[in-house]
Structure 1
């Protein structure tokens, strides 16, 4: 596992991201979207990933482009940082409760992108960051990290708590799944796609 730098520039966004999976949870996050900064800081801390994100996007239009493109960059960085995945645990899960909220995350780092969240929609919105934005971020992440991630929101009323607890559950599941157990490649296919 290594430190990875990703840069992405489109007409809508400019992103510089640095990720180290073997970190201490240090972060420097500036996305222009306050709540996304909060979620990424939580992801970094609870996963013990060192993460730097500097993003400028067309947030005067909407947070969609900035949000999704950061998910793309973080996913690519995660994929590259894992290398050939030799010796990693590969599978993991976590449960997180935060006040009234309870979430479960299950991951497989086996090279096949998949993202599923239950329930599919929560009709509560924050001022600038919705449940839909959250889903789009993690879909972009899983597609580019080439991992399968199932997220179940078992209980919850406050959207802030739901999104934060879900992010922490994802971070903890990934932290466990990347742990080195031995030197064996955890697949019968002899390589990951």
Structure 2
């Protein structure tokens, strides 16, 4: 940039600022042409291109002098062209403006976004980073061949422009698939067997294979010749990165103070009887991915998420060969822990919620207070019995676990009803609706909704 302002001509590969400026007549571009991709052959091609330009263009032009005044007028003309075309575009004013607009201003907006409402987003992001770091070493990537990749291994020669499919099974004890960005890293191998100028292709989540294993799939199209892989795919060819909602937020515009709070929580719990991973997003759309091994409980939790507009993911393994008691209770505990973690200090939250749900002959009324003081009032006509594979009396155990670990005062009253399925479903729906109301944020509320100023 300083050189251009002083009329110095440039000789460079089309990289950095010269990639944008090389067509403006301020110098020459080194073009190595097609290479095999390894660093040695590329360096050799660049050197030959430089020698060619020096010998045939640059040196002759510089020494092409006027015999009267010994001035290289063609060279000077190029200098003037460089100053005229480059200086107005590539200058300190532009550099400072782009640094400010592309880096400093977004960084400041991000700082404001993370530190609103007492820095809750910063706290959540810090906890998430620690969570990812603590469990990153548990990740394991396993090769999995599709018909296409198996064919590619048997016949490893693929032409430029041809595509193939890659599958990978990612094993993780705690992390969820939405927390991972899985990518195919591919490129031409150099003489040392390392990928040269690699490219990244995204892989999409396909399926939960159980036991903390998740299937991802992606495709790649070969764009240059050379040896891409020795055989098959190895772990170095599949990358896995952590991701967090606040890191992907568009911060080009100032963010709202309350309505865009990142109120999520992740819980991992392992005992001698159960192993549970749970993620809750209070500001979701009702999306659910539930697998507890207890079909009726899965159904109740799915409708809980749906009617509360919560995004909820639960993967649970328990001693179901005994019964569903430990699994049901521990899932309730984890959901309570997630709620307590998601609402943090409860600032700006409505706190109270009530809802009544009719379900055919049954009626469930729920009143709750997310106040930090656990209490369960439970009055229903439920008696011992089963709904599918679920013992009806475990409904109370579930909400005991939820209440004790979320710090919620919860009153469940079913004044009448006969069908156990209807009664339990009405309860879960009513709790979801009441909790949705209680966890709403209201910009009129400063701090917590309490005359004491604390809960």
- TM-score in terms of structure 2 length: 0.41
Q: 1:93 pairs with 354, 358, 361, which one?
A: 354
Residue of structure 1 equivalent to 2:439: 178
TM alignment of 1:38-187, pairs within 5 A = 38-119=299-380, 121-181=382-442, 182-184=444-446, 185-187=448-450
Secondary structure of the structure 2 residue equivalent to 1:84: coil
Larger radius of gyration: 2
State the 1:87 CA deviation. Answer: 1.3
Greater shift after overlay, 40-49 or 125-134? 125-134
How far apart, in 2, do the equivalents of 1:42 and 1:87 lie? 26
Secondary structure of the structure 2 residue equivalent to 1:46: helix
- Are positions 1:190 and 2:436 aligned together? no
**For each residue in 1:92-145, what CA deviation from the matched residue of structure 2 results, as whole angstroms up to 9, or x when unmatched?**
200000111111000011110001111375244324322320000011001111
How far apart, in 2, do the equivalents of 1:143 and 1:173 lie? 18
TM alignment of 1:23-34, pairs within 5 A = 23-34=284-295
Q: 1:13 pairs with 269, 274, 278, which one?
A: 274
Secondary structure of the structure 1 residue equivalent to 2:386: coil
How many residue pairs were aligned? 192
**For each residue in 1:159-179, what CA deviation from the matched residue of structure 2 results, as whole angstroms up to 9, or x when unmatched?**
011000110000000000111
How far apart, in 1, do the equivalents of 2:384 and 2:396 lie? 13
Q: 1:65 to 1:124 in 2, by over 3 A?
A: closer
Secondary structure of the structure 2 residue equivalent to 1:117: strand
Unaligned runs of 5+ in 1: none
- TM-score in terms of structure 1 length: 0.95
Secondary structure of the structure 1 residue equivalent to 2:286: coil
**For each residue in 1:19-67, what CA deviation from the matched residue of structure 2 results, as whole angstroms up to 9, or x when unmatched?**
0000000000000000000000010000000000000000110101111
Q: 1:173 to 1:160 in 2, by over 3 A?
A: same
Q: Is the 8 A contact 2:336 2:406 kept in 1?
A: yes
Greater RCO, CA 8 A, separation 6+? 1
State the 1:188 CA deviation. Answer: 2.5
Runs (4+) of structure 1 moved beyond 3 Å? none
Q: Is the 8 A contact 2:381 2:418 kept in 1?
A: no
How far apart, in 1, do the equivalents of 2:405 and 2:452 lie? 21
Secondary structure of the structure 1 residue equivalent to 2:390: coil
How far apart, in 2, do the equivalents of 1:159 and 1:153 lie? 11
Secondary structure of the structure 1 residue equivalent to 2:393: helix
